[in-house]
Chain A
Amino acid sequence: MNVTGLAGRPGFMARNAVARSAVGPRSSLPVPRVSPFSTSTSLSCVNHKPGSANPSDSETNRPGSLADKYSAGLRQNKDWAANTARDHPDLFPTLATGQQPQILWLGCSDSRCPETSMLGLQPGDVFVHRNIANILHPGDLSSGAVIEYAVKHLRVKHVVVCGHTSCGGVAAAMGNKELGILDPWLLPLRQVRERNLPLLQSLSPEEAALKLVELNVREGLSVVTQKSAVLNAIQERGLQVHGLIYDVGSGVLRELDIQETEESLRARLVAFKTDN
């Protein structure tokens, strides 16, 4: 693979400039307004010279070509801003009041799974945590803080756990190669693999990997719905949880049937719900 500088990507920064009006002037809800920082914007991130091993860099990082892309981006931005304001007249005024996302997205870091794009949604719509193989560890502070903030403070209406086809983390957990620091992270996947070993071994490798993707989503939902903040929100204001699988080969989302029996729901509430 060729090494390509950030600025060498076609219109990297320029495309950002095009996106400027998508996130027009506004302040955050839980945060008081702050005065503008600086209007000066550095468009170059070519302050690093990775070295002669990357011959493409000297070609692609020329400031001149970047400036041209930037000018083009600024021109396109005017059209884009007008189109967006016409198609979504409420977007900018709504965002100006702060962040009120309806959806918490717990998905995979995989570059092929851009949540806001694939949902056809806009900035301000989806609060996001993405990690390796969308794994939810019960004691993980990172995802725990995200879920706590989204459910209790932002009061999202939907929590989505989304897995996807061709997941590298799932493939790794279906194999037996030592991977250093990734091993403890992938451990929950191996636990699911162990619990479902006869089923997984009865399937072709492709079918087994896809099955583990699905089982991992169900496991993630189980961890999410063991959190008291989530259980309280389900009971008190109808918070919904969803399990999705994204097909990277078609772009289509599929919803899993995650109906729970009354009995298991009651057991969950008894075992995990706490009051303050």
Chain B
Amino acid sequence: MHRYLRQSLDNIFKKNREWVSTKTSGDPGFFDKLAAGQSPDYLYIGCSDSRVPANEIMGLEAGEVFVHRNIANLVPNVDLNVMSVINYAVRHLHVKHIIVCGHYNCGGVKAAMTSADLGLLNPWLRNIRDVYRLHERELDSIPEEDKRYNRLIELNVIESCRNVIKTAAVQQSYEKNQYPIVHGFVFDLRDGLLRDLEVDFEAMLQDVKKIYCLSPSAKK
């Protein structure tokens, strides 16, 4: 058992060195540029699911996207973890786009559609049940469970986008700089394609600001 686990890790260091060789043979200065600092254009908020690696699905290189991943790509209003990520990405890195990316077949969303007690996971997944309650009429009108499941995954992304827009950092930066723009994507595991949910950022921002406005000048 232990020898097997050891071998598995040795393999990782070997692959890491192969990756380094690939990068430096294509561009000898690749890591020198990264050592100088990061200035990513994108913040990606996605699911921890191993099948949805941020850089790979978007074809982006090291240095191009700042990444936060949690169970079911949630942006809970009181989660200090994700709020710190958004704050740092917007106020310090000045990202131009924030991508909230969900994926079909999401185990977290599925768990939130079942009546199981999952212990420590309950409070986290309850956020998804809240999304269901917010869109209860629409979801209840979908007779097929598969389609209802997919729609909840999409609505969960859209509500996460809304929560991103509720932050002072996003509202104030957009007012001053016309960025960041918030996007909602869904990744389809079956064909590897990203689908843009076409969140209308400006309309959502205006809608959110009616109650959640945190940019003082807008109140004039």
Q: Considering the chains assembled together, what is the distance between the CA atoms of A101 and B62 in angstroms?
A: 22
Q: How distant is the Cα of A208 from the Cα of B15 in the complex, in angstroms?
A: 30
Known contacts A131-B84, A253-B13; decide if A34 and B58 are in contact (CB<8 Å). no
Interface size class of A (residues with CB under 8 A): 35 or more
Question: In angstroms, how far is the closest chain B Cβ from the Cβ of A255?
Answer: 7
Q: Which of A23, A114, A148 contacts B120 (CB 8 A)?
A: A148
| Interchain CB contact under 8 A, B17 and A252 | yes
A137 to B189, CA, bound (A): 32
In the complex, chain A residues whose CB is within 8 Å of the CB of B146: 34-35
Q: How far is the CB of A246 from chain B (nearest CB, A)?
A: 9
Judge whether B105 is part of the interface by a CB distance below 8 angstroms: yes
Task: Give the distance in Å from the alpha carbon of A181 to the alpha carbon of B67 in the complex.
Answer: 18
Determine the chain A residues whose CB is within 8 A of the CB of B94 once the complex forms. 1
Q: Which of B38-90 contact A (CB under 8 A)?
A: 38-42, 48-71, 74, 76, 79-85, 87-89
A45 & B198 in contact (Cβ 8 Å cutoff) = yes
Hey, what's the 0/1 contact readout for A54-75 against B, CB within 8 Å counting as 1?
1000000000000000000000
Check A25/B18 contact, CB under 8 A, given A31-B110, A48-B201, A142-B70: no
Interface residues contributed by chain B, number (CB under 8 Å): 105
- Counting residue pairs across A and B whose Cβ atoms lie within 8 Å, the total is 306
- Interface residues in chain B, defined as those with a beta carbon under 8 Å from any beta carbon in chain A: 1-2, 5, 8-9, 12-13, 15-20, 23-24, 30-32, 34-35, 37-42, 48-71, 74, 76, 79-85, 87-89, 92, 94, 96-97, 99, 104-108, 110-111, 119-121, 123-125, 144, 146-147, 149-150, 177-179, 181, 183, 185-186, 188-196, 198, 200-202
Closest A-B pairs by Cβ, 10 of them: A15-B59, A120-B15, A249-B35, A20-B192, A101-B50, A111-B40, A185-B84, A116-B53, A251-B20, A34-B146
A-B contact pairs, 8 of them (CB 8 A): A15-B60, A16-B193, A109-B88, A111-B40, A111-B63, A116-B56, A123-B56, A142-B71
Residues of A within 8 A of B (CB): 1, 3-4, 6, 9, 11-28, 30-32, 34-39, 41-45, 47-48, 50-51, 53-54, 95, 99, 101-103, 109-121, 123-132, 137, 140-146, 148-150, 157-158, 165-166, 168-169, 180-182, 184-185, 238, 240, 242, 248-253, 255
